[in-house]
Amino acid sequence: MAAFGARGTGKTAWVKQEIARQKPARLMVWDFKHDPSLVGLGEPHSSLPGFIEALHAKRFSLRFLVDHTRDVHAQFELFCQAAWVAGDVLVFVDELPEVTKANKAPPAWRRLVNVGREYAHGGKVKKVAIIGAGQRPAECDKTFIANCDVVHCGRLGDHGDAKKIAGSWGINPQELAALPDLHWIEKRADSIEMTRGVLSFRNAAKAAKPKP
Ligand SMILES: Nc1ncnc2c1ncn2[C@@H]1O[C@H](COP(=O)(O)OP(=O)(O)OP(=O)(O)O)[C@@H](O)[C@H]1O
Ligand SMILES: [Mg+2]
């Protein structure tokens, strides 16, 4: 899944609600900007070795706080390799343009995106589900976008971005460019229909509670 939209349009908030809905048994979060709104989503780790060690548990919900004093790309490569080895995990990468470019996907990320749907590793069949978020689709890896089951989009500030997404969906770019904060349009790969909605926080707390 991908979530796009200008800053403050509700990407991270929507992904949090989606994760609360899915209730994954195993969750890895790449928290690039140490986002206050991600507090509470997974146990925070600022050491990558400690984070990777914690992936040995059967169930986990972990958030890696990227270390900006070290090579971010090297950390992302290890994060993606660890997701591959762990398997059966939901990976949420926020601020995707910080680690990918339209025409450049880091090797371990590309492998997750292309092959992660189902693969054999260590004698087991494993799956990795991915949610990526970024302000501009033009700055995110194209292969990831092309492989998405769901593209969820808030207002796009850049006219070229709006034109491109709207063009591929057959809608007016102006509609994407003029969406108010928290309003979204969503397209599933298996349908030609678009869904439109507004993010609401009324039922979010309820959805986050585990089922008895
Ligand atoms: N639980 C909540 N209740 C009410 N408002 C919220 C809640 N969570 C987020 N918001 C509001 O939703 C808006 C969108 O925030 P969000 O962090 O999702 O933006 P974003 O699209 O991820 O932006 P950025 O690109 O800067 O990360 C903000 O105005 C935020 O204050
Ligand atoms: Mg965000």
pLDDT band at 211 (very low <50, low <70, confident <90, very high): low
What is the second-level CATH architecture of the domain 2-208? Answer: 3-Layer(aba) Sandwich (3.40)
Q: List Cα–Cα distances, 94 to 8, 167, 171, 173, in angstroms.
A: 13, 25, 27, 25
Q: What is the pLDDT of residues 141-152, one digit of tens each?
A: 999 999 999 999
More confidently predicted of 174 and 205: 174
Q: What does the alpha-carbon distance between residue 12 and residue 22 come to, in Å, rounded to a whole number?
A: 15
- Report the share of the chain in percent with pLDDT over 90: 92
Upper half-sphere CA count for residue 63 (Cβ side, 13 Å): 17
Which of ligand 1's atoms lies nearest the C-alpha of 3? 21
pLDDT band at 103 (very low <50, low <70, confident <90, very high): confident
Residue with CA closest to ligand 1 atom 3? 201
Distance 189 CA to ligand 1 centre (A): 26
Q: Is the pLDDT at 54 greater than 80, yes or no?
A: yes
Give the residue-averaged pLDDT of 82-106.
Answer: 95
Distance 45 CA to ligand 1 centre (A): 22
Nearest listed ligand to the Cα of residue 3: 1
- Identify the pLDDT of residue 104: 86
Q: Where are the domains of the chain?
A: 2-208
- Identify the pLDDT of residue 158: 94
Which of ligand 1's atoms lies nearest the C-alpha of 15? 18
Task: Enter the pTM of the model.
Answer: 0.94
Q: Is the pLDDT at 137 greater than 60, yes or no?
A: yes
